[in-house]
Amino acid sequence: MGMTGTIRIIGIDPGLRRTGWGIIETLGNSLKFVASGTVTSDGDMDLASRLCQLHDGLAEVVHAYQPHEAAVEQTFVNKDAVATLKLGQARGVVMLVPARAGLPVAEYAPNAVKKSVIGVGHGEKQQIHMMLKILMPKAEFKGNDAADALAIAICHAHNRGGQRMRAALAG
Residue-level pLDDT at 1: 47
**Residue 120: helix, strand or coil by DSSP?**
coil
Over the chain (171 residues), the average pLDDT of each successive run of 10 is: 78 96 93 97 96 98 98 86 92 97 96 88 84 92 94 94 63 61
For residue 109, CA distances in Å to 74, 140, 161 come to: 5, 23, 17
* Single-letter amino acid code for the residue at 80: D
Q: What is the Cα–Cα distance from 54 to 97, expressed in whole angstroms?
A: 9
Q: What is the pLDDT of residues 97-135, one digit of tens each?
A: 999 999 999 999 999 998 888 887 777 888 999 999 999
List the Cα angle 136/71/37 in 5-degree steps. 55
Residue 36: name the closest of 164, 129, 140, 133 by CA: 140
Q: Which residues does the annotation mark as catalytic?
A: 13, 73, 145
pTM for the full model? 0.90
Beta carbons within 8 Å of 103's beta carbon, 6+ residues apart: 10, 62, 67, 68, 69, 70
